[in-house]
Structure 1
Amino acid sequence: MADARWTGPRGTDMGEWLPVLDLVEPARQRRLTVLVRMLLLIPHFIVLFFLQIAAFFTTIAGWFAALVLGRLPEPVFRFLAGYLGYHTRVSASAMLLIDRYPPFALNPPPDYPVRIEVRPTELNRLAVFFRLILMIPAAVVQGLVSSGWWTLSIIWWLITLILGRMPRPLFEASAATLRYQMRFNAYFLMLTPAYPKGFFGDDALSVPEQRSRSATMPLIMSGAGKALLVLFLVVGVAAEIATSVATPSETTDNW
């Protein structure tokens, strides 16, 4: 599904193409929309709940089809790509990366500041069969960095509310978190054979200077942005440890 309009980066393997996140960084954000952002997104969370149910069963059907055909059938690919784009746009808004309200559509208008691109391609049947096992390392990284971001989200919310914008290093780290999440979801949904990569951004030379870029095309990260990503991971690990320690203690108290 060509939801963006550029030629994306290639992975380390010949012919491997990584899903693209095309995110336009806003110069300023309206403080009022930042203040009530999560309330404004409640209708989208409801829609996503039902879309996730549909995507779950579609993914199961797609898994069996991919084992037989070596690819996703076009209707399955089209729906899952639309779902992934919708989920990414809502997540970008929730993470304060954009100020414009997400559309209630699987395909956004051409001028919407968040777009993705995934391309139909052949799939390795063996990799499809063992997908749930293969994705475990990426799932751990994605889960920890997302957990760390959301654990500290009240701080990012206050900073953005006070300044009326996200500081550039925080924007870079948040965009990197969202992009890795999108690439992981694309891999899980079998929309791509490419394993999630580019956690710490892209090489500054990965796109020619004359080519038009958005904030994530490519995602060039500063040292401060990378340090924040490490912070997200550390906080995510701490949060998981705290949760695992507290749970047995609560169970013992109940007895």
Structure 2
Amino acid sequence: FILRGEPFSALDPISREQLQDELIRLQQELNKTIIFVTHDMDEAIKIADTIVLMKDGQIVQTGKPEAILRHPANDFVRNFIGQKRLQSENELSYEIPLVDDVMITNPVTAFPNRGLAEAIKMMESKRVDSLFIVDRNKQLQGAVSIYRVLDMYGEEGKTVADVMIPVRFSVASGSTLPQAIELMDSHQLSNVPVVDGNNRFLGLVTRGSVVKHLAEVYPNLAPPQPAGEGEPV
């Protein structure tokens, strides 16, 4: 094994971080046990697989960084970790939200009999580049983008029902946000509709609405970002 006693303590922050990264890389490559002594908790969390906290020559707590952050053994460990770091870690523990809590509830929709000129005007006024098509019972029929409308614009008799495409992916009301995110990620979607048991269009989970939700839950991690009424299909 390798024993290192605070080897980076006298370095500037940039050099220190670079060497921490290099140490992690070398450890993975050489697969050797490294005992690394440090008084910097951030450094320990970054590079350690297991942390051993000591006081007056006695071991106070041993465990993985995640376990120590979530379950400090006593006040000494809490103070050593730092209240701000503990607070940030605790803020990450929250109930998994449902898509109903995150979705945009007023996405831009149109009825199937709308003409193409009307569709363009609606997109312009709502500042979106796509429309979701619903019937009088709000059942989701399909979606149409500005590009598809423009391609068919020369045919005056066409309606959005003629040029819309089926919505291949949606999530049911009551689904969890991770389910929606996994669907969006798997199929490279910018949004996913939320429907009820009768395929009625209830709302839209978008990348923007997800970011906005995370910013509200974790205000210290990221600034809120506005989400519009609709986003591209």
The answer to whether TM tops 0.5 is no
**Structure with greater helix share of residues:** 1
Normalised by the length of structure 1, the TM-score is: 0.21
More strand by proportion, 1 or 2?
2
Work out which structure has the larger RCO, using CA pairs closer than 8 Å and 6 or more positions apart in sequence: 1
